[in-house]
Amino acid sequence: MMMGFGLLLVLVVGIGLIAAFAGGRDLLSGHHRADGWSTGGHHKTAREILDERLAQGEITVDEYETLRTRIQQEGA
């Protein structure tokens, strides 16, 4: 009876260690979900966001050019 409990304990601890190692590795490597959870890494510039919005059809070319000019004026 005691032998079965010990085996179960070793199995649970082993799985926990593997999960902790995998999670820690992901945190340290900086590879996080694409939904913005990560605070590290590349932060998009206003121009990159604007380019994406045009590419996705969220804004027209006229709106894009107006906003791009405004961004350039504020950055200068």
Domain boundaries along the sequence of the chain: 43-76
What integer pLDDT is reported at residue 39 of this predicted model?
A: 54
Residue, of 57 and 1, whose pLDDT is higher: 57
pLDDT above 90 covers what percent of the chain? 33
- Per DSSP, helices labelled H in the chain are 2-29, 46-55, 61-75
Residue 1 has pLDDT above 60, yes or no: no
Residue carrying structure tokens 């605070």: 39
Average pLDDT of 18-23?
74
Mean confidence (pLDDT) of the chain: 78
Cβ contact 50:64 at 8 Å: yes
Full-model pTM = 0.46
- Tell me how far apart the alpha carbons of residues 10 and 4 are, in angstroms, rounded to a whole number: 10
